[in-house]
Amino acid sequence: MTAVDLPAARVRRAAAPVRYHYLDALRAALMFMGVFVHAALGDDRVFRLIAHLSGLFRMNGFFLVSGFFSSMLVLRYGAGLMVRRRLLSIGVPLVAVLVLLNPIARWLMYNQYNPHVGLVDYLLGHRVAHPDGPMTWHLQLWFLVSLLVYTLCSPVVFSALTRLFGTRGFGRVAGSRPRTMTALIAFVLLATLVLQGGYLLALRPVTESTPADYVVDATLRYLPFFIVGMALFLDGQRLLPAFSRPAPVLLVAAGCLLVVAERGLVAPLGTELGDDLVRSVFALAVVANLLAVFQRIVTQERPILRYGADAAYSVYLFHYVTIYALAALLGIGVDAHWPKLLLITMLTFVITLSVHHFLIRRFHVLAVIFNGKFNIGKPGPARAADGRPAFAAGPAPAGPGPGPRPADRDHRTEARPEAREVPHAGSPRGGRHRAPKGPDRRLAGR
The DSSP line for 11-67 is: HHHHHSB---HHHHHHHHHHHHHHHHHHT--S--HHHHHHHHHHHHHHHHHHHHHHH
In a domain, 73, yes or no: yes
Worst-scoring range by mean pLDDT, 45-59, 256-270, 379-393? Answer: 379-393
pLDDT value at 54 more than 50: yes
For the chain, the domain total comes to: 1
Burial of 426 (0-12, 13-18, 19+ CB in 10 A): buried
Q: Cα 236 to the chain's mean position, in Å?
A: 17
Residue 8 lies in a domain: no
Mean pLDDT of 132-145: 95
Q: Does the pLDDT of residue 1 top 80, yes or no?
A: no
- pLDDT-derived band at 270, boundaries 50, 70, 90: confident
Task: With respect to residue 26, please indicate whether it lies within any of the assigned structural domains.
Answer: yes
Q: How confident is the model at residue 394 (pLDDT cuts 50, 70, 90)?
A: low
Q: What is the pLDDT of residue 272?
A: 94
How large is the C-alpha radius of gyration of the chain?
A: 23
The average pLDDT across 361-376 equals 93
155-159, 218-222, 228-232, 399-403: lowest mean pLDDT where? 399-403
For the CA atoms of 229, 396, 161, 61, the dihedral, rounded to the nearest 10 degrees, stands at 10
pLDDT at 433: 45
* Sequence-ordered strand ranges (E) for 273-372: none
Residues with Cβ within 8 Å of 63's Cβ and at least 6 positions away in sequence, in order, are 143, 146, 150, 222, 223, 225, 226, 229
CB 51 within 8 A of CB 112: no
Mean pLDDT, residues 232-240 taken together? 95
22-26, 313-317, 391-395: least confidently modelled range: 391-395
Q: What is the pLDDT of residue 42?
A: 87
* Exposed/middle/buried for residue 248 (C-beta within 10 Å: 0-12, 13-18, 19+): exposed
Do the domain assignments include residue 2?
no
pLDDT at 365 over 80: yes
Q: Is the pLDDT of residue 403 over 70?
A: no
Element (H, E) at 79: helix 79-100
- Residue from 37, 122, 111 nearest 329 by CA: 111
Q: In the predicted model, what is the mean pLDDT of residues 400-429?
A: 41
Do the domain assignments include residue 433?
yes
Q: How deeply is 431 buried, as exposed, middle or buried, from its count of CB atoms within 10 A (0-12, 13-18, 19+)? A: middle
Of 91, 28, 30, the residue nearest 56 (C-alpha): 30
Residue type for position 30: L
Q: How far is CA 181 from the centre of its chain?
A: 20
Classify residue 14: in a domain, yes or no. Answer: no
Q: Is the pLDDT of residue 11 over 90?
A: no
Q: How far from chain centre, in Å, is Cα 301?
A: 20
Residue 272 · residue 193 · CB < 8 Å: no
Residue-level pLDDT at 425: 41
Count of Cβ atoms closer than 10 Å to residue 185 Cβ: 17
d(CA 199, CA 213): 10
Lowest mean pLDDT among 19-23, 97-101, 425-429: 425-429
Percent of the chain with pLDDT over 90: 75
Average pLDDT of the chain is 85
Q: Dihedrals φ, ψ of 442, to 5°?
A: -70, -20
pLDDT of 381? 58
CB 117 within 8 A of CB 110: yes
Looking at residue 19, what is its pLDDT? Answer: 65
More confident residue, 378 or 89: 89
DSSP-assigned letter for residue 422: P
Structural domain boundaries, residue 130 = 19-443
Query: What integer pLDDT is reported at residue 432 of this predicted model?
Result: 42
- The per-residue pLDDT for 358 is 98
Average pLDDT for residues 386-401, to the nearest whole number? Answer: 46
* 222/239 Cα distance (integer angstroms): 19
CB 63 within 8 A of CB 229: yes
13 within domain boundaries: no
Can you say how many angstroms the Cα of residue 163 is from the centroid of all Cα atoms in its chain?
A: 24
**pLDDT band at residue 383 using 50, 70 and 90 as cut-offs:** very low
pLDDT at 264: 87
What's the pLDDT at 13? Answer: 36
Task: Find the distance separating the first CA and the last CA of the chain, reported in whole Å.
Answer: 25
Q: What is the maximum span of the chain, computed from C-alpha positions, in angstroms?
A: 81
Q: Which pLDDT tens digit goes with each residue over 149-174?
A: 999 999 999 999 999 999 999 999 99
Phi (first) and psi of residue 211, to 5 degrees = -65, -15
Determine the pLDDT at residue 31: 98
Question: For residue 9, is it within any domain?
Answer: no
What pLDDT is recorded for position 420?
A: 39
Residues for the chain: how many in total? 446
Residues 6 or more apart whose CB falls under 8 angstroms from that of 132 comprise 113, 114
Burial (CB count within 10 angstroms: exposed 0-12, middle 13-18, buried 19+), residue 201: exposed
16 has pLDDT over 70: no
Nearest CA among 25, 13, 70 for reference residue 304: 25
Q: Is the Cβ–Cβ distance between 107 and 122 less than 8 Å?
A: yes
What is the reported pLDDT for 7?
38
Q: What is the pLDDT of residues 176-217, one digit of tens each?
A: 999 999 999 999 999 999 999 999 999 999 999 999 999 999
Q: What is the mean pLDDT of residues 404-422?
A: 40
Model pLDDT, residue 416: 39
